[in-house]
Chain A
Amino acid sequence: MSIFCGQNLICVRGERTVFTDLDFNLDAGGALVLIGPNGSGKSSLLRLMSGLLPQAAGSLSWNNEEIREDPEAHADRMHYVGHHDAVKPVLSVAENVAFWASLRGRGKKTQSAVMAALEAFGIAHLAEVPGRFLSAGQKRRVNLARILAAPAPLWLLDEPTTALDKQTIGALEATIAAHRAGGGMVVISTHSDMGLESFKVLDLAGFAIRQAS
Chain B
Amino acid sequence: MSGFMAILKRDLHLATRQGMDNMMVVMFFVIAVVLFPFGVGPEPNILARIAAGVIWVAALLASMLSLERLFQTDFEDGSLELLSLSPITLEVAVLAKVAAHWLTTGLPLIVAAPLLAVLLNMNAEGFPMLIVALLLGTPSLSLIGAVGAALILGSRRGGVLLALLILPLYIPVLIFGVSAVDAVIGGFEANAQLLILGAFLMGALALCPWAAAAGVRQAIE
The yes or no answer to B79 lying at the interface (CB within 8 A) is yes
CB of B14 within 8 A of CB of A103, answer: no
Cβ-defined contact, A105 with B77, below 8 A: no
Q: Which residues of A contact B2 (CB under 8 A)?
A: 102, 105
Residues in chain A near residue B78, CB distance under 8 A: 82-86
Chain B interface, number of residues (Cβ within 8 angstroms): 24
Which B residues from 79 to 114 make CB contacts under 8 A with A? Answer: 79, 81-89
Q: Does chain B have a CB within 8 A of A133?
A: no
Contact B87 A85 (CB under 8 A): no
Interface extent on A, as a size class?
20 to 34
Q: Mark B189-205, 1 if CB is under 8 A from A, else 0.
A: 00000000000000000
Q: For the complex, is B17 an interface residue (Cβ under 8 Å from A)?
A: yes
Bound CA span A50–B81, Å: 10
Specify the main secondary structure of chain A where it touches its partner: loop
Query: Chain A 78-104 against B: per-residue CB contact (8 Å), 1 yes, 0 no?
Result: 101011111110110001000110111
Select the residue from A51, A85, A91, A99 with max chain B CB neighbours within 10 A: A99
Q: Check if A72 is an interface residue, CB within 8 A of chain B.
A: yes
Q: Which B residues are in CB contact (< 8 Å) with A78?
A: 85
**Distance to closest chain A CB from B78 (angstroms):** 3
Check A100/B14 contact, CB under 8 A, given A85-B77, A105-B3: no
- Among A75, A83, A84, the residue within 8 A (CB) of B85 is A75
Tell me the A46-93 residues at the B interface (CB within 8 Å): 50-54, 72, 75-76, 78, 80, 82-88, 90-91
Please, which residues of chain A bring their CB within 8 A of the CB of B83? 103
B221 beta carbon closer than 8 Å to chain A:
yes
Contacts A86-B78, A91-B13 given; indicate if A52 touches B84 (C-beta within 8 A). yes
Q: For the complex, is B155 an interface residue (Cβ under 8 Å from A)?
A: no
B27 at the interface (CB under 8 A from A): no
B86 engages A103 (CB within 8 Å): yes
What CA separation (Å) do A61 and B112 show in the bound complex?
A: 54
Considering the complex of A and B, which 10 residue pairs feature the smallest CB-CB distances, nearest first? A84-B78, A90-B17, A76-B87, A86-B78, A86-B79, A103-B86, A102-B6, A75-B87, A99-B10, A105-B2
What are 14 A-to-B residue pairs whose CB atoms are below 8 Å? A75-B86, A82-B78, A82-B81, A84-B78, A84-B79, A86-B77, A87-B77, A88-B14, A91-B13, A95-B13, A99-B6, A102-B6, A103-B6, A103-B88
